[in-house]
Amino acid sequence: MSNLQKFKEGMFLLPKEGDMKVDGLVVGTEELFRGMEIEKPLQQVQNVAKLQGIVGYSIAMPDIHWGYGFPIGGVAAMNMDDGVISPGGVGYDINCGVRLAVVSMPFKELGEKQKEDLIKAIFKHVPSGVGKERKGKKGLDDSDYKKMLIKGAKWSVENGYGLEKDLEHTESHGVIEGASFDAVSHHALDRGRKQVGTVGSGNHFVEIGEVQKILSDEMAEEWNVNKGDIYILIHSGSRGFGHQTCQDTLDKFMKQGYDKGLPDKQLVAAPINSEAGKLYFEAMAAAANYAFNNRQQILHSVRESFREVLGLSAGEVRQIYDVCHNIAKFETHEVDGKKQKLCVHRKGATRSFGPGHPELAAIFKKTGQPVLVPGDMGRASYLLAGLGNPLTWSSCCHGAGRARSRHQSKKSWKGKDPFEHMQSQGVIVKANSYRTIVEEMPDAYKNVDEVVEAVDKAGLAKIVARLKPHLVIKG
């Protein structure tokens, strides 16, 4: 940390040394850095800076913490000529992401029984927990599976799991082009066959709460988000499908010798234009499209729950946006004054295109894309608007980031009642596993207020609204 140099407001440089091809760029504040274990993640920032074809900076967001190869909260862009694509720069949970919907009804109008019935209905309709599948549903046959992986979330909408306008409110309209069914192993396909529409475990969740504060009246008005509204936040990814796809690729890359000469074997990466690199992208895109369908179908189940308990139609549960935060995408950015196609890795980081960006749907051209930053299940989450900062390749943080390990959190809550504590904070929690709850308690995470303040200072995104959780379903 002593190597960090103040660069701009909310940004620090980690100057290149040794084999680093670019400087490190760390978004954050001195106050945040003092409260986190930062040395190992900073070493990973340096390691990423040594990868072939990296341009700009090796970037870390303020929610940075140690990860597999890349730090979680890491961003790196590679040129298309001699750059590499790295599974560790995407992560095991390919296209883990967040989806936000709102209901134009004050949360405070919900009675205690309605809250209880709502969380019970969602818990029933949305399977959660390690390895959980859709009960009583036949798994996808290969024909539908292939269509789903190629079409992305559009497949779910066409099959009755959502509204056409949901796609306009989804990053990349819910599809990563270039996916291939044949690039995915049979094992990965089998693991995912019955898991579409399920939350999973760990830090994944469905959260219902109240739009507590509006911090940009203009943006909130454009998106029709009002103080006091009910919100729904969904955090999940590609489940066993994505995990297996990542592991399969890591094994292949290692066998093919792509780990040679790297400072950390976990950074193993193949040239983007090699056969191995192309196959990984095709499989990763398939897993990303699986994840878009997963969140689409979870939202459908949540809408069904709102219909059962409150009599609301699907259209009254309005999707605001869906963002990826474990992905590698081909995007055009300016490098040394020229437009250039790059492979942008975002691992635990969110795209944050600004106003006018050509890839955004018409509704977000004026405002920039919504950016979703979940915090923890006790304090808050945030809705922001992207500003398209070129220094970070139009990227922003993806959450609060862990402040302590799962083991440390579990140990600190030994002998205490986490459910009682959460209830005292006005939050009802349901979960399949007690262990998940103690690993995911609010004090296991950094203060999301401070993290969001850092990205606001650095000019990555503009704060629109603070969201307060009240009903939370964990794995």
Are the C-beta atoms of residues 453 and 29 closer than 8 Å to each other? Answer: yes
Residues 6+ apart with CB under 8 A from 459: 9, 10, 387, 389
Nearest CA to 21 out of 3, 48, 60 is that of 48
CA gap 474, 198 in Å, rounded? 11
Burial track 267-305 (b if 16+ CB lie within 10 A, e otherwise): bbbbbbeeebbbbbbbbbbbbbbbbbbbbbbbbbbbbbb
Amino acid at 108: K
Strand order in the sheet with 5-8: 5-8, 11-14, 24-27, 54-65, 72-79, 338-347, 326-335
CA gap 167, 442 in Å, rounded? 32
Residues 6+ apart with CB under 8 A from 463: 215, 216, 382, 384, 452, 456
Residues 6+ apart with CB under 8 A from 365: 355, 356, 357
Are the C-beta atoms of residues 230 and 107 closer than 8 Å to each other? Answer: yes
Neighbours of 346 (CB within 10 A): 32
Active site residues: 398
CA gap 156, 161 in Å, rounded? 5
Query: 143, exposed or middle or buried, with CB in 10 Å at 0-12, 13-18, 19+?
Result: exposed
Q: Output the CA–CA distances (angstroms, integers) from residue 119 to 108, 376, 459, in the order listed.
A: 15, 18, 37
CA gap 360, 81 in Å, rounded? 27
Neighbours of 54 (CB within 10 A): 21
The dihedral through the CA atoms of 74, 78, 84, 90 has a sign that is positive
CA gap 175, 170 in Å, rounded? 9
